[in-house]
């Protein structure tokens, strides 16, 4: 697994995140959502992925087995998400999609193999230890992380990550939700600490 992670870190060093035009006003529109969600992954994935809109319905059928959608579990706003970062878009393979559905429903993920999920626009914040904590004020002190671009590995066997690095301040891949059914590897990319500069490694 370490070899896979290192390989992907090298690949990610050459990735440039897609931008979503700030001039587009209707963030609930099909066009805005397709552009916002598909750019959560490198273009060679997002361009051919299936897109699921805020209604939960497919708004673009893809051809490569990947699916992109908002990863923000809060209710979809009537006028759409304020910006692409707030939408927390994800692009995931079928195994990671199974993981995300289980996480949303509070059930144990059942994966056939490890899964992969891209989030090149980051997220609006998570408690690194406790799943489903939505507000920083409710999080474990010092364990809240609002992330920038990253890739995630959802393991078939979460216990395989026991005793793995869970420190998000040293710049290395780390485990989120360690010791739980939802333990997964976070693999930071360039710009990961854009929203939380105080957590960036200082040396």
Tell which wins on pLDDT, 73 or 16: 73
**The pTM is what?**
0.86
Q: For the segment 73-85, what is each residue's pLDDT rounded down to a tens digit?
A: 888 988 889 999 9
| Residue range of the domain that includes 60 | 2-12+25-199
In contact, 180 and 158? CB cutoff 8 Å: yes
Q: For the segment 56-101, what is each residue's pLDDT rounded down to a tens digit?
A: 999 999 999 999 999 988 889 888 899 999 999 999 999 999 999 9
> How many Cβ atoms from other residues are within 10 Å of residue 76's Cβ?
16
Among 45, 159, 156, CA closest to 102: 156
In a domain, 30, yes or no: yes
In a domain, 19, yes or no: no
In a domain, 31, yes or no: yes
In a domain, 46, yes or no: yes
In a domain, 68, yes or no: yes
pLDDT of residue 74: 85
Tell me how many domains the chain contains.
Answer: 1
In a domain, 138, yes or no: yes
pLDDT of residue 31: 95
In contact, 57 and 86? CB cutoff 8 Å: no
pLDDT of residue 24: 59
Q: Which of 9-18, 105-114, 139-148 has the lowest mean pLDDT?
A: 9-18
In a domain, 164, yes or no: yes
pLDDT greater than 90 at residue 203: no
In a domain, 18, yes or no: no
């Amino acid at each position: 697994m370490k070899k896979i992670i290192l390989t992907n870190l090298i690949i990610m060093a050459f990735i440039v995140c897609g931008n979503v035009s700030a001039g587009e006003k209707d963030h609930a529109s099909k066009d805005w959502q397709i552009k916002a969600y598909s750019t959560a992954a490198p273009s060679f994935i997002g361009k051919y992925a299936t897109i699921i809109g805020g209604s939960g319905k497919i708004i673009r059928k893809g051809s490569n087995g990947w699916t992109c959608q908002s990863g923000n579990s809060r209710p979809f706003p009537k006028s759409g998400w304020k910006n692409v970062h707030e939408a927390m878009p994800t692009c995931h393979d079928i195994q990671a999609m199974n993981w995300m559905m289980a996480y949303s429903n509070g059930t144990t993920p059942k994966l056939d193999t490890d899964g992969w999920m891209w989030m090149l626009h980051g997220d609006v914040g998570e408690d690194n230890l406790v799943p489903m904590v939505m507000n920083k004020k409710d999080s474990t002190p010092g364990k809240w992380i609002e992330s920038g671009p990253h890739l995630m590995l959802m393991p078939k066997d979460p216990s395989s990550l026991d005793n793995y690095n869970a420190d998000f301040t040293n710049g290395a891949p780390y485990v989120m939700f360690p010791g739980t059914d939802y333990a997964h590897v976070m693999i930071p990319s360039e710009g990961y600490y854009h929203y939380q500069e105080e957590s960036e490694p200082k040396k």
